């Protein structure tokens, strides 16, 4: 994994080390200078081992989540890399013809003369980093092993040029030793391992290749190790000359593989340079010159600059390079190379298009087409990049989903230090009374916190890697039972860099939280602390002027001290001088801290008073209405409410209202309003504030935090009402009443501590409930087989080289098949085309696909369409019929229509304008479709949009449905049907029929799937991944449970004397124990109730919103799963409380009363 | 009815911290008559509080026997002993030991609730007691909102709410100024006189001790002077008003 949130992991690591190492060094220096505070800070760690263990477990959660996320990302990245390397072997780039000619077949790579390879060999002789070129042929055909009756419908047949084999590291037999392609006779072939496995073939077997009506038999001379020239997928290899004869392509090749200097891994390092040199070699300088002139126009340059600002990462850098090269004289090799890069050319066209430079865009399209004679794909480098991106995305995903747990972990650290401070209040007060400064108290806590942070970081990394290994094992199991992924197994892999980053991040989060909580602790009132009185709010007596001048004074201090050092030196006092200089150095180091502190103080006061938050919130709210961004709107709204509440509090304070009443009014107002703001369905907000779009997982995070905070404020500032209610309710419960009353009274009297614990529990439960409900909702949606499959039962695909002329007739003719078993049979072919929408803002031709469906298919297809154009009926059947009757009509897939709220905004090749997936109705939309080879344009009218489930589970893929007859005239080559769909008669066994069809049309490469099984598998995999994420997010529960344990342990210590008094007035042991258990139960269950309530409401809103896109999704509460989550949370919390409770109940009254 | 409400013989108690072994009580015999107010006095560390804790069943004894109203307290299981304390004993501590999270009235009613008294009755009785100690207007205040003297009054109300036959008071005025201490003693002496409840109090103050019927002096874990046990047949009613 190379990047996280778009930032290089190397940069992240260096930045973290740069922050952390000096921070730790500062702590170490402070410790060395102030050993008394160091001792005071550290002595508590071994004193209470159980508490220390709980604290470390609680604190490590941030590191654990980071390490688990990074470890999983590394594993995915590494596994894909390894797959890519295994598949490509020594092949680094592939050269092919960019355009097909009339002689080329549908579905094959365009052919070029073998002589072009010979010429290329001479041209590239000077390129130092190329150590081999391998001309070849790659085609696909069905292959059968008669001995085992097993077949492979889409076997790759490669023709290998014997003279090039050595340059690509040779071909190896899987039984050991080298294979010599030149030794193969005209009737001999090699199979690679994958092919041998598919056909269950061994050396000496006969295999048959089906090519149209022709059937060719070969003997297998050996089994090759896969990869490189031996191919990544099931591959059958023969000498190039023989392949040319087999496919009727004498003297021709359709690809040239390039091997770079270096091994399978290091070869890719030269890819950029080799690709650049080859692109320059293949480019037409005249065309490049024309392109340069076109792009040098001021408007074009502006458009490029704007586009560059929209991009990130390597593409942004490449576009910047284009602009830099355009500014230079002449046409540099670098510019040619950049222009010949397909991704860069796409961005340039996008820039021109979105800049409104239509003419320039059209000219550029033509020039880009003419620029390179051959196209070069740096395949290995691209696959490695994809591997890294996938790893990065997975890590980002896990980190985002782990944010809740990290947040809960931060709250726990804060809570722990607040409690430790409470426990040591008197001793700290005494320390302050005898002269200790605030910073000494901060230091004491920082020393203790640093010790916890360093140890828990290490524990967290180790456990995080274990969690990542567990995740990988689960994902492997999911893959093993999912079609298409059976062969992909991830290999555990952790980069040392990720371990360092996880450790540093976790430790840094802990240290930062410790710093903040230590600062809060240090502001204790000395008298109140010594006398054990309730703490009064620390009043900041510093004036604005004093605060504002602090950075300037801090900045001057090093100079003043240096000056004194100089004076001391002049006075011949070298030691004093050295002391001053050391102080000056230290003062210089702390200047940034003072500046940050000043800024915080300057902002904090008006923020606390409310008006700054209010002003900021209103500004953000208004800006969100301009951008229509829902995330910004939500943040602005939440800030406005907080600002309103705090302003109200300030006003009430001016009115001299009693503090408790003032706080209750302000925080209840804030809490209730905030809850209402987040609970209101999205649709209502849009109705009031206009259309709001966007939103992603981060919004879920923000909503969780805001809602839980609001609920906790409301509950905690009205706790006395709750207590009164409980007192009233428990009147009849006799002896349990005193237990219940104290169990509620204690937590409610420590608002901050209880509020934090409540927030922790509520947050974790909130996330788990939302995940559970959404998983259930998507599972019900995924189970909609009719929509997913368009009403078909079996899908069968045949090789495009061996199509079936008339499937109905073929079924009737085959002795093993009965036409009566099939209610309907239809088929279609997917053809890559280019499309654009006349009148739309974007007029570029975009890659898209057409699914040319037979009349039989359109006659029998069913399913459900998301949108149907006015005048074309109400049902899918009516639309399919319309398509059949009018060959100019089309139905597009869901991805071709933009969504207002799709979380995944990944680029789709073609998207229409003027319509949204959430729309209820549409007018027919005109489209132009261009066949790329012939350039023939067909005009189509879109009258419907498929449901997104059809693409998600139905194996259909991207593309629009049209009647096949619409394209037959427009496309120069014949379109064979490659995908068949069967609907079987009632009572017919599906798997058996699927197998029978596959066996019957083996020669055509028929491979069948039962669609319902695919839907079920996909739904099961989806569910399994959701459970995995739920489990990952459940890690936060550990923190909540640890928090309850820590609180209970502390409570036993803090309340020892009170326990003694309770025992003296007649509390039995069991009552003391129950009191602690009830107390934990109260906090946990209240947190759980808040989490379940809010989670259910927000899930309902999310499901309602998704229903706009996915009609089949249903809101239903998974009671069992929620019951299990609640039970686990509650039982484990009780378990962690049980021991302290037991300990409390066993304290002898006299002993407890004696305790101070 | 037993003549002595407290009848302790041969009490021995040693604290063993693992490093040091301290003999806190070395064979103590003590009898207290019903309705009597006894002050236990002596220098720090002489075993006064330990004796009070052992007599009241808050602490275990190593040997000897304690009879409270004829009941061998130390033979009772822990739960029964707790119930006994809830029903028949009251406690007043130097540091009040009120539950800080409960209001004055809630603190006072706790022993009643623990004994299973109906909530309404408990509240009524607690209010009566608070009235008796002059704090009915502060019933809904938390301990932190009361002065030291007020807190100790709440503690006394709590100690008396279940109409105990005996009240144990460990340095009840130790944390109070002399004026407040006198007020508290007035209150306790009055209650003793009016209700005939037995008071055993541990104190350092001679003035406080002087207001009891009898002063028991301790030194090094032994009773040095039991202050002259009242004669058999002498009852609370026949005892003079304490301190007079």
Over residues A166-204, the pLDDT tens digits come to 888 888 898 888 888 888 888 999 999 989 988 899 999
Does pLDDT of B244 surpass 50?
Answer: no
Which of the four pLDDT bands, split at 50, 70 and 90, describes residue A213?
confident
Nearest C-alpha neighbor of A37 from the set A418, A535, A534, A522: A522
Does pLDDT of A905 surpass 50?
Answer: no
Among A373-377, A964-968, B231-235, name the most confident range. Answer: A373-377
Average pLDDT over residues A608-637: 85
Residue A970: what pLDDT? 64
B59: chain A residues, CB-CB within 8 Å: 1148-1151
A1070: chain B residues, CB-CB within 8 Å: 79
CB-count exposure of residue A70 (10 Å: 0-12, 13-18, 19+)? buried
Residue A219: what pLDDT? 94
Average pLDDT over residues A1119-1132: 88
Residue A368: what pLDDT? 85
How far apart CA A274 and CA A261 sit, in angstroms, is 10
Residue A220: what pLDDT? 93
Residue A571: what pLDDT? 85
A1148: chain B residues, CB-CB within 8 Å: 58-60
Cα-based torsion angle of the residue sequence A740, A741, A744, A750 in order, rounded to the nearest 10 degrees: -140
Residue A640: what pLDDT? 92
DSSP string for residues in A596-607 = HHHHHHHHHHHH
Looking at chain A, which residue has its C-alpha nearest residue B118? Answer: A734
- Cβ neighbors of B80 (< 8 A, separation 6 or more) are none
Question: Could you say which DSSP state residue A973 is in?
Answer: S
Which of the four pLDDT bands, split at 50, 70 and 90, describes residue A949?
confident
pLDDT tens digit sequence for A962-1020: 988 767 766 666 677 888 999 999 989 999 999 999 889 988 888 898 888 888 877 77
Residue A206: what pLDDT? 93
Which of the four pLDDT bands, split at 50, 70 and 90, describes residue A101?
low
Residue A615: what pLDDT? 92
| pLDDT mean across residues, chain B | 85
Residue A645: what pLDDT? 92
How far apart CA A328 and CA A315 sit, in angstroms, is 20
Residue A903: what pLDDT? 47
Residue A1005: φ, ψ to 5°? 75, 25
H/E segment holding residue B80: helix B78-88
Residue B235: what pLDDT? 45
What are the residue ranges of helices labelled H in A610-629? 611-627
H/E segment holding residue B52: helix B48-56
Measured in angstroms, the CA of A1153 and the nearest CA of chain B are apart by: 8
How far apart CA A261 and CA B110 sit, in angstroms, is 87
Residue A511: what pLDDT? 82
Measured in angstroms, the CA of A1038 and the nearest CA of chain B are apart by: 29
Judging by DSSP bridges, how do beta strands B198-202 and B37-41 pair with one another? Answer: parallel
Residue A842: φ, ψ to 5°? -95, 115
Residue A223: what pLDDT? 93
Average pLDDT over residues A1027-1051: 79
Q: Of A534, A731, A737, which has the smallest distance from its Cβ to B144's Cβ? A: A534
How far apart CA A1069 and CA A256 sit, in angstroms, is 85
Helix, strand, coil shares, percent, chain A, to 5? 65, 15, 25
* Distance set, CA A994 to CA A148, A197, A1000, A1018 (Å): 19, 21, 10, 19
Looking at chain A, which residue has its C-alpha nearest residue B102? Answer: A745
Q: Between vectors from CA A401 to CA A400 and to CA A403, what angle results, nearest 5°?
A: 65
ipTM of the shown complex: 0.86
Cα-based torsion angle of the residue sequence A732, A735, A740, A741 in order, rounded to the nearest 10 degrees: 80
Does pLDDT of B169 surpass 50?
Answer: yes
Residue A529: what pLDDT? 58
| pLDDT mean across residues, chain A | 83
Three-class secondary structure of residue A37 per DSSP: helix
The answer to whether the CB atoms of B97 and A749 lie below 8 A apart is no
**A599, two tokens:** 């800024």
Measured in angstroms, the CA of B232 and the nearest CA of chain A are apart by: 31
The answer to whether the CB atoms of A1064 and B58 lie below 8 A apart is yes
What are the residue ranges of helices labelled H in A954-1009? 964-968, 990-1000
Does pLDDT of A954 surpass 70?
Answer: no
Residue A904: what pLDDT? 47
Average pLDDT over residues A71-76: 83
Q: Exposed e or buried b for every residue in A582-618, given b needs 16+ CB within 10 A? A: ebbeebbeeeeebeebbeebeeeebbebbebbbebbb
Q: How many other CB atoms are found less than 10 A from the CB of residue B186?
A: 12
A1151: chain B residues, CB-CB within 8 Å: 59
Residue given tokens 């940034």 in the structure block: A592
How far apart CA A500 and CA A458 sit, in angstroms, is 10
**A298, two tokens:** 């001021």
How far apart CA B200 and CA B28 sit, in angstroms, is 15
CB-count exposure of residue A531 (10 Å: 0-12, 13-18, 19+)? exposed
How far apart CA A191 and CA A193 sit, in angstroms, is 7
**Residue A361 or residue A103, greater confidence:** A361
Which positions in chain B have a beta carbon within 8 angstroms of at least one beta carbon in chain A? Answer: 49-50, 53, 56, 58-60, 78-79, 82-83, 85-87, 91, 93, 95, 97-102, 106, 110-111, 113-116, 119-120, 144, 158, 170
How far apart CA A857 and CA A880 sit, in angstroms, is 9
The answer to whether the CB atoms of A1149 and B116 lie below 8 A apart is no
Residue given tokens 């009915």 in the structure block: B136
Nearest C-alpha neighbor of A1082 from the set A707, A757, A765: A757
pLDDT tens digit sequence for B62-115: 999 999 988 888 888 888 888 888 888 999 888 788 888 889 999 999 888 888
Query: Measured in Å, how far apart are chain B's first and last C-alpha atoms?
Result: 28
How far apart CA A266 and CA A264 sit, in angstroms, is 6
Yes or no: say if A184 and A242 are a contact pair by the CB < 8 Å rule: yes
Task: Specify the range with the lowest mean pLDDT, choosing from A140-154, A598-612, A1116-1130.
Answer: A598-612
Residue A694: what pLDDT? 62
- Cβ neighbors of A1035 (< 8 A, separation 6 or more) are A61, A64, A65, A68, A402, A405, A467
Which of the four pLDDT bands, split at 50, 70 and 90, describes residue A953?
very low
Yes or no: say if A189 and A237 are a contact pair by the CB < 8 Å rule: yes
The answer to whether the CB atoms of A745 and B56 lie below 8 A apart is no
Which of the four pLDDT bands, split at 50, 70 and 90, describes residue A371?
confident
How far apart CA A53 and CA A979 sit, in angstroms, is 61
Quote the distance between the C-alpha of residue A918 and its chain's center: 24
Q: Of B95, B116, B144, which has the smallest distance from its Cβ to A735's Cβ? A: B116
**Residue A1000 or residue A404, greater confidence:** A1000
């Amino acid at each position: 994994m190379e990047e996280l949130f778009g930032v290089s992991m190397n940069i992240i690591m260096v930045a973290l080390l740069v922050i952390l190492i000096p921070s730790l060094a500062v702590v170490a220096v402070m410790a060395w200078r102030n050993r008394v505070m160091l001792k005071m800070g550290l002595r508590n760690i071994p004193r209470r081992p159980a508490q220390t263990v709980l604290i470390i477990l609680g604190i490590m959660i941030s590191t654990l989540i980071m390490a688990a996320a990074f470890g999983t990302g590394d594993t995915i990245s590494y596994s894909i890399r390894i797959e890519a390397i295994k598949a490509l072997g020594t092949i680094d780039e592939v050269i092919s013809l960019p355009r097909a000619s009339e002689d080329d077949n549908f579905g094959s790579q365009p052919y070029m003369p073998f002589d072009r390879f010979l010429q290329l060999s001479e041209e590239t002789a000077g390129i130092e980093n190329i150590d081999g070129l391998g001309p070849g042929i790659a085609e696909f055909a069905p292959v059968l092993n008669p001995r085992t009756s097993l077949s492979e419908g889409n076997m790759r047949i490669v023709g290998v040029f014997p003279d090039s084999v050595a340059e690509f590291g040779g071909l190896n037999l899987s039984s050991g030793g080298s294979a010599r392609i030149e030794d193969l006779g005209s009737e001999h072939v090699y199979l690679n391992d994958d092919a041998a496995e598919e056909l269950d073939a061994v050396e000496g077997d006969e295999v048959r290749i089906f090519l149209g009506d022709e059937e060719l038999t070969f003997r297998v001379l050996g089994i090759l190790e896969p990869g490189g020239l031996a191919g990544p997928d099931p591959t059958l290899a023969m000498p190039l000359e023989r392949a040319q004869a087999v496919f009727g392509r004498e003297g021709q090749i359709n690809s040239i593989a390039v091997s770079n200097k270096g091994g399978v891994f290091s070869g890719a390092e030269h890819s950029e340079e080799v690709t650049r040199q080859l692109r320059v070699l293949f480019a037409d300088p005249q065309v490049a010159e024309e392109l340069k002139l076109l792009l040098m126009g001021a408007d074009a340059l502006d458009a490029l600059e704007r586009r560059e600002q929209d991009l990130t990462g390597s593409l942004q850098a490449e576009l910047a390079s284009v602009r830099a090269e355009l500014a230079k004289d002449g046409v540099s090799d670098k510019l040619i190379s950049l222009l010949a890069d397909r991704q860069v050319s796409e961005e340039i066209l996008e820039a021109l298009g979105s800049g409104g430079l239509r003419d320039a865009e059209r000219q550029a399209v033509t020039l880009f087409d003419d620029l390179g004679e051959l196209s070069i794909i740096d395949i290995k480098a691209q696959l490695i990049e994809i591997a890294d991106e996938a790893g990065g995305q997975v890590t980002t995903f896990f980190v985002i989903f782990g944010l809740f747990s990290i947040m809960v972990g931060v709250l726990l650290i804060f809570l722990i230090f607040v409690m430790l401070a409470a426990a040591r209040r008197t001793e700290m007060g005494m320390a302050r009374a005898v002269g200790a400064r605030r910073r000494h108290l901060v230091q004491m806590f920082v020393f203790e916190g640093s010790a916890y942070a360093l140890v828990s970081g290490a524990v967290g990394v180790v456990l995080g890697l274990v969690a990542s290994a567990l995740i990988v094992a689960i994902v492997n199991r999911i893959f093993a039972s999912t079609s298409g992924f059976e062969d992909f197994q991830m290999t555990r892999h952790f980069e040392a860099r990720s371990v360092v980053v996880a450790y540093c991040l976790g430790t840094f989060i802990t240290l930062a939280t410790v710093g903040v909580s230590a600062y809060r602790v240090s502001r204790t009132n000395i008298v109140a602390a010594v006398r054990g009185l309730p703490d009064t709010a620390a009043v900041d007596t510093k004036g604005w002027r004093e605060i504002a001048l602090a950075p300037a004074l801090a900045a001057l201090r090093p100079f003043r001290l240096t000056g004194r050092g100089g004076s001391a030196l002049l006075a011949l006092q070298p030691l004093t001088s050295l002391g001053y200089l050391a102080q000056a150095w230290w003062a210089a180091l702390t200047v940034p801290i003072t500046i940050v502190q000043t800024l915080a103080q300057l902002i904090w006061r008006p923020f606390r008073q409310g008006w700054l938050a209010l002003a900021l919130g209103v500004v953000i709210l208004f800006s969100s209405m301009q951008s229509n961004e829902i995330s910004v709107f939500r943040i602005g709204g939440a800030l406005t409410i907080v600002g309103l509440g705090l302003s109200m509090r300030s006003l009430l304070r001016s009115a001299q209202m009693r503090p408790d009443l003032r706080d209750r009014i302000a925080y209840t107002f804030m809490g209730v309003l905030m809850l209402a703001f987040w609970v209101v369905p999205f649709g209502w907000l849009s109705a009031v504030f206009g259309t709001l779009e966007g939103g992603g997982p981060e919004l879920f995070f923000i909503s969780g935090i805001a809602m839980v905070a609001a609920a906790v404020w409301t509950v905690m500032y009205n706790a006395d009402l709750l207590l009164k209610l409980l007192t009233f309710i428990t009147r009849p419960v006799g002896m349990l009443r005193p237990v219940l009353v104290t169990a509620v009274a204690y937590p409610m009297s420590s608002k901050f501590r209880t509020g934090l614990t409540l927030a922790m529990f509520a947050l974790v439960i909130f996330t788990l409930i939302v995940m559970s409900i959404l998983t259930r909702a998507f599972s019900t949606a995924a189970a909609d087989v009719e929509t997913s499959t368009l009403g078909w039962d079996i899908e069968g695909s045949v090789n495009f080289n061996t199509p079936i002329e008339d499937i109905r007739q073929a079924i009737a003719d085959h002795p093993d098949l009965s036409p009566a078993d099939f209610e309907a049979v239809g088929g279609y072919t997917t053809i890559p085309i280019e499309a654009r929408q006349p009148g739309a803002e974007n007029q570029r031709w975009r890659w898209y696909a057409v699914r040319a469906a037979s009349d039989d298919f359109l006659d029998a297809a069913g399913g459900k369409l998301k949108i149907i154009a006015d005048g074309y009926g109400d049902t899918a059947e009516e639309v399919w019929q319309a398509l059949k009757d009018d060959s100019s009509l089309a139905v597009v897939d869901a991805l071709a229509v933009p969504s207002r709220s799709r979380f995944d905004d990944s680029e789709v090749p073609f998207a229409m304008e003027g319509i949204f997936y959430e729309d209820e109705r549409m007018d027919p939309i005109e489209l132009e479709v261009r066949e790329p080879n012939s350039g023939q344009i067909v005009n189509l009218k879109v009258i419907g949009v498929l449901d997104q489930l059809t693409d998600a589970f139905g194996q259909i893929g991207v593309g629009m449905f049209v009647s096949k007859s619409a394209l037959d005239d427009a496309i120069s080559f014949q379109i064979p049907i490659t995908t068949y769909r069967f609907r079987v008669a009632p009572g017919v066994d599906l798997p058996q029929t699927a197998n029978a069809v596959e066996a019957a049309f083996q020669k055509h490469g028929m491979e069948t799937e039962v669609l319902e099984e695919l839907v079920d598998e996909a739904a099961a995999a989806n569910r399994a991944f959701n459970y995995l994420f739920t489990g990952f997010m459940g890690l936060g529960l550990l923190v909540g449970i640890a928090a309850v344990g820590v609180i209970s342990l502390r409570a036993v210590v803090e309340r020892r004397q009170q326990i003694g008094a309770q025992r003296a007035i007649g509390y039995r042991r069991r009552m003391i124990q129950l009191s602690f258990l009830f107390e934990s139960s109260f906090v946990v269950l209240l947190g759980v109730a808040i989490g379940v309530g809010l989670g259910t409401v927000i899930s309902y809103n999310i499901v309602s919103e998704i229903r706009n896109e996915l009609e089949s999704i249903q809101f239903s509460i998974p009671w069992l799963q929620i019951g299990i989550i609640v039970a686990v949370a509650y039982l484990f919390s009780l378990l962690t409380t049980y021991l302290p409770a037991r300990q409390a109940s066993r304290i002898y009254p006299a002993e407890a009363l004696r305790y101070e | 009815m037993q003549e002595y409400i407290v009848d302790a013989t041969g009490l021995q108690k040693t604290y063993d911290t693992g490093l040091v072994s301290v003999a806190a009580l070395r064979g103590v015999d003590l009898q207290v008559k019903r309705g009597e107010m006894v002050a236990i006095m002596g220098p720090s560390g002489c075993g006064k509080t330990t004796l009070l804790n052992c007599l009241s069943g808050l602490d275990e004894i190593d040997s000897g026997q304690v009879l409270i109203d004829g009941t061998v307290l130390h033979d009772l299981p822990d739960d029964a002993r707790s119930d006994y304390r809830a029903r028949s004993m009251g406690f007043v501590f130097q540091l009040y030991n009120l539950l800080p999270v409960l209001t004055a009235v809630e603190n006072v009613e706790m022993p009643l609730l623990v004994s299973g008294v109906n909530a309404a009755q408990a509240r009524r009785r607690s209010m009566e007691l608070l009235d008796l100690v002059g704090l009915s207007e502060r019933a809904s205040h938390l301990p932190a909102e009361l002065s030291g003297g007020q807190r100790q009054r709440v503690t006394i109300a709590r100690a008396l709410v279940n109409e105990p036959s005996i009240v144990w008071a460990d340095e009840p005025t130790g944390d109070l100024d002399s004026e407040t201490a006198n007020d508290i003693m007035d209150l306790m002496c009055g209650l003793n006189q009016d209700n005939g409840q037995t008071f055993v109090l541990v104190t350092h103050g001679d003035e406080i001790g002087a207001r009891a019927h009898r002063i028991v002096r301790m030194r090094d874990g032994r009773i040095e002077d039991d202050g002259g046990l009242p004669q058999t047949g002498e009852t609370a009613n026949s005892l003079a008003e304490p301190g007079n």
